[in-house]
Amino acid sequence: MHSTATMASLPSLFDLTGQRALVTGAASGLGLAIAEALLEAGAEVVLSDSDAPALDAEVQRLRKTYTKVQQRVIDVSDGAEVDRHLDVIAAEGPIDCVFANAGMSAGRGFLAEQGRLENVDPAAWEKVLQVNLTGVLTTLRAASRHMKPRGQGRIIVTSSIAGLRSEAHSGYAYVASKAAVNNVVRQAAIELAPFNILVNAIAPGPFATGINGGRLRLPESAERMRTYIPLGRIAQPHEIQGLALLLASPASSYMTGAIIPIDGGASAR
């Protein structure tokens, strides 16, 4: 089913009032920043994460400002668990937007000895792919199942510029999972376009979050990025909010299958 696009007033293009959204990996970092942007735009937001204490602390903080905040502890690598939680969320009301943001680091890249090919740990490889790749697939699958009957929806995946090019600072499992995620996004976008479900990905560069042990928050990381990143600095989590809101809102009504870098110019080199 295809919808007929209608012109919206400019103020309404980024208005999410009445919309319901789910953000995975929302207890910290980019997921939390995305959830805050959606709430500020008027959406009802379900924050999910596998870290129950951290999730509860952030939700309690947000409830001091926003009333439409819910939480669910979800392990995205468990497909049955994702399906079960999405069924409950959908029973409470339509799901308009899902951010498949949950992910994990694979440790250091090959510039460090532990990140070289001969030192790749098979168990760690499987764990990273289970969260970063299978977790995206399970979230996409569950979200689309509820969106297709309505003939509308938006699914936004957090990928990485490490999925667009070689990245010496990132572990093999991470770059492999993010490259695969990009093609899953493109494939799903084509399949779901007839149902007016838009599927896009955000590909962040270096952001100062807790991933990879919070290494990018260290002064030496900031110094290294001055030469690696054209803008000369590491991004702060709030800097993802504008792009996230664009993809969740009516402003992106003709966008699907896009992998959008937000990286200070790194992928332009």
Please tell me the distance from the alpha carbon of residue 196 to that of residue 146, in angstroms, as a whole number: 13
Cα–Cα nearest to 203, from 131, 137, 258, 136 = 258
What residues are annotated to the active site? Answer: 174
Please tell me the distance from the alpha carbon of residue 107 to that of residue 104, in angstroms, as a whole number: 9
Q: Is the pLDDT of residue 8 over 70?
A: no
Please tell me the distance from the alpha carbon of residue 198 to that of residue 201, in angstroms, as a whole number: 10
User: What is the structure's pLDDT at 1?
Assistant: 41
User: 206: Cβ–Cβ under 8 A, 6 or more apart, which residues?
Assistant: 216, 221, 225, 228, 229, 234, 235, 263, 264, 266
Query: Burial, 258: exposed, middle or buried (Cβ in 10 Å; 0-12, 13-18, 19+)?
Result: middle
**Least confident range of 108-117, 142-151, 199-208, 216-225:** 216-225
User: 50: Cβ–Cβ under 8 A, 6 or more apart, which residues?
Assistant: 73, 74, 75, 76, 102
Specify the CATH number of the domain 13-262. Answer: 3.40.50.720
Band of pLDDT at residue 166, cut at 50, 70 and 90: confident
Mean pLDDT of 213-228: 67
Domain ranges for the chain: 13-262
Give Cα separations from 85 to 47, 184, 199 (angstroms). 12, 22, 21
Find residue 157's DSSP bridge partners.
100, 201
Band of pLDDT at residue 221, cut at 50, 70 and 90: low
pLDDT digits (tens, 9 = 90+) for 109-148: 767 878 787 888 899 999 999 999 999 999 999 999 999 9
